Amino acid sequence: MDLDLNGRGVIVTGASKGLGRAAARALAEEGADVLAVARTEESLRELAGERFPGKIHPHVCDMRDRAQVSALAELAAGKLGRLDIVVNNAGIAPAANFLEMDMGVFDEVMEVNVAAVAVLSQAAARVFVESGTGGRIINVVSTSGILGKATLAAYSASKGAAIQLTKALAAEWARHDIQVNAIAPGAFATEAQAYVTGNPEVLAKRVRKIPARRMADPGEFAPLVCYLASAKAKFVSGAVYVIDGGETAKQ
C-alpha cells in the first residue's frame, strides 16, 4: 500500500531510542522528511546518518522547556519546508511507591507527558490551520493510561490525561482537517525495558501476563504510526489504538 508520505514534513519527539526511533525510521523509509527530536545529540546524529528515501534532521530539545517545545513547529516548517505530521512520543516513567514520591517528580512527569504534548500540538495545529492543508497528530500514550499500574501512578495519570487530550482535540480540530489519534503500546522490548528483557525470570513473569506470550519488537509499532500519518486515515480521529498482544483485552 502506497501511503503517499513522500516529502511530508514530520516531527517525532523522543526519537533517539525505542519506539520514537522506530517511528522516525519508518516514516523516513516511506519518504517523509523527519525532524527527530530528543535530548541526546549523539544518538540523533547516528540516526540521521542512516540512509532512507526521506531525510532525518536531528534536533536537540528539552521537553520540559515549554519555549523550546513551542518553537518546534515553526522550526520544522522552516527546516523541512512544510509541516504535516507530529508524533508526540517523548515521555518519562519514573517508578516509585506513591506514598514516598516527591511531588516535584510528579510535576515533571506531567510536564513532559502532558504539557509538552499540549504545547506542541497547539503550535503544530496553528501551522496546519495557517497552511490550510490540515495535518495529523499522533500521541503515543500507554496501556498504563487505560488500566493504571502500581508504582507508576504519575505515569498512568499522565497517559490517561493524554488520552483525553487526544479525544478533545480530535473533536475540536476536525473542522480544520486535523486528525488527532493515540497509540497505546503495551510491553515492547525497548531500552527502557532492559531490566525485564535482561532477566530471564523477570521476563518470564512479565510475558505470562500477555496472551501473546511475548514482548513486541519496536518494528511492530511503526507501521501503525505510518498509517495514521497518511491520507488513508483521514476519517480516523479521536481513536486510541492498543498494541499489547491482548493484555488489556483480558481484563
Query: Averaged over 230-235, what is the pLDDT?
Result: 97
Q: Is residue 66 part of a domain?
A: yes
Measured CA to CA, the distance from residue 159 to residue 163 in angstroms comes to 6
Residue 231 lies in a domain: yes
First to last CA, the chain: 34
Q: Is residue 241 part of a domain?
A: no
- pLDDT (mean) for 225-246: 97
pLDDT at 193: 84
* Domain membership of residue 26 as a residue range: 9-185+221-236
- Please check the confidence at residue 22 and state whether its pLDDT lies above 80: yes
What DSSP character marks residue 126?
A: H
Residue 244 belongs to a domain? no
Domain annotation covers residue 166: yes
Res. 126: pLDDT tops 90: yes
What are the pLDDT digits (tens) for 74-97? 999 999 999 999 999 999 999 999
- The predicted-structure confidence for 177-212, as pLDDT tens digits, reads as follows 999 999 999 999 888 888 888 999 989 999 999 999
Residues of the chain above pLDDT 70, percent: 100
Does residue 192 sit within a domain?
A: no
- Is 226 part of any domain? yes
* Per-residue pLDDT reduced to its tens digit, 39-62: 999 999 999 999 999 999 999 999
Q: Report pLDDT for 251.
A: 67
Q: What three-state secondary structure class fits 59?
A: strand
CATH number at residue 177: 3.40.50.720
Mark whether 195 is an active-site residue.
no
Residue 233: band (very low, low, confident or very high) from pLDDT cuts 50, 70, 90: very high
What's the pLDDT at 28?
A: 98
Q: Is residue 3 part of a domain?
A: no
What pLDDT is attached to residue 194? 81
Cell of 107: 510535576
What's the pLDDT score for residue 196? Answer: 86
Which residue(s) pair with 57 in the sheet? 35
| Local confidence band at 147 (pLDDT 50, 70, 90 cut-offs) | very high
Considering the candidates 155, 195, 227, 241, report the single residue annotated as catalytic: 155
Total number of domains in the chain: 1
| 3-class SS of residue 49 | coil
Segment 171-177 shows an average pLDDT of 98
Beta strands in the chain (DSSP E): 9-13, 33-38, 56-60, 85-88, 135-140, 178-185, 240-243
